[in-house]
Amino acid sequence: MIPFNKPYCSGREQSYIQEVCQSTTMSGNGQFTKLCHGFFEKRYGFRKCLLTTSGTDALEMCAMLCELKPGDEVIVPSYTFVSSAIAFLREGAFIRFADSGKDNPNITVEAIEPLINEKTRVIVVVHYAGVACDMDAIMALAEKHHLLVVEDAAHSIDSFYHERPLGGIGHLAAFSFHETKNINCGEGGMLVVNDERFVRRSEIIWEKGTNRAEFYRGMVNKYGWCDIGSSFLPSEFNAAFLWAQLEQLDDIQGQRRHIWERYDQALRGHLPEGYCLPELPDYATNNYHMYYILCPSLKARTELMNYLKNNGVQTTFHYLPLHSSKYYEDKHDGRQLSNCDRYADTLVRLPLYYELKDEEIDKIVKLILRKLSHRS
Ligand SMILES: *Cc1c(COP(=O)(O)O)cnc(C)c1O
């Protein structure tokens, strides 16, 4: 069986974890955590980075920093992972779900604008598959209405909008290092603070509501309880694992690019009518997080996935629309989100991981082309 995903390992993870075992700091914010923060701050110019124990946690920190009041509204795409919404729901916000665009699953200005009212406080964007949303237009809309923008950059490491790195454009952003992402440490994430106003408070929330980080920098002579917060920082073991991967980022991205392009060369122009492949807007780069096919119908997708499974290839689909989920359907305002529903029904993700071999890609492609040329 060719699995859908195999988490990447560089081989250095064990020796860095061994270093942590022999050191005096095993809890968070030690040397490996600092190496990881520095990597992102230097390479992408992010104002402030804080590792978290998951992408979900980073989104929860974003929501806490937005200081929402009961009744405040947050606009979130429906076609995303639950965490993009639940982080804000936990803070008491009402979620207005927005539709995806026609050309790709990202949220659009056209979908966002009609949802803005006097209670709206935040727009959450998800750069699906690491492909940028139209950030200039979204930031301008947010500025016009005095809204905050949170980037769910869970898919988006090393990807860009024009020349600007994703995660560095909104007021706040969240990355994920879950094992399904390009870079992973099992479970992990990172908050990015781009707006100076949130820098100090982000560190306090990260450190259980205390100013301990300032204490360690020698800025105060004792630390204490200053604000709300939680235990968001991961241990040095996670950071050491992550560092072993970050060191290899260019190699990982190069290999993923090779796989993505091999799929694309073999499939683009060779699929029957009604089947579509990823399209990138000219302002977006590709970080090769995902390769997918859009099928003409749910039935066609189910048939393709079953055929591949019966021939030893595991594929997946996602997301189940959040607006019509069991948990939210009663709370949703009733609008149809037809693009979202279409992606949920028709998108199939192909295996894409560092160790995937050329022969395996060729086998997957051959199976797809064989199946689709013999459609009933
Ligand atoms: C993976 C993912 C998350 C959550 O990240 P975790 O690290 O698993 O908590 C949030 N949003 C999106 C779009 C994701 O793909």
Which pTM was predicted?
0.97
Matching residue, tokens 């990172």 = 190
Ligand 1 atom with least separation from CA of 54: 7
User: Ligand 1: distance of its center to the CA of 358 in Å?
Assistant: 28
Ligand 1 centroid to 257 CA: how many Å?
22
CA-proximal residue: ligand 1, atom 14 (nearest)? 154
Would you state the structure tokens that stand for residue 13, as one six-digit string? 């993870």
Supply the residue whose CA is at minimum distance from atom 2 of ligand 1.
Answer: 154
Q: What is the DSSP-derived secondary structure letter of residue 115? A: G
Residues touching ligand 1 (Cβ under 6 Å) are 54-56, 80-81, 83-84, 126, 152, 154-155, 176, 178, 189
The partner residues of 284 in beta bridges, in order of sequence, read 161
| CA 311 to ligand 1 centroid distance, Å | 30
Per-residue pLDDT of the chain (376 residues; tens, 9 = 90+): 999 999 999 999 999 999 999 999 999 999 999 999 999 999 999 999 999 999 999 999 999 999 999 999 999 999 999 999 999 999 999 999 999 999 999 999 999 999 999 999 999 999 999 999 999 999 999 999 999 999 999 999 999 999 999 999 999 999 999 999 999 999 999 999 999 999 999 999 999 999 998 998 899 999 999 999 999 999 999 999 999 999 999 999 999 999 999 999 999 999 999 999 999 999 999 999 999 999 999 999 999 999 999 999 999 999 999 999 999 999 999 999 999 999 999 999 999 999 999 999 999 999 999 999 875 4
Q: Which atom of ligand 1 is nearest to the CA of 57?
A: 9
Which residue's alpha carbon is at the smallest distance from atom 15 of ligand 1? 154
Contact 48, 199 (CB under 8 A): yes
227 and 200 in contact (C-beta within 8 Å)? no
- Give the position of tokens 């923060």: 37
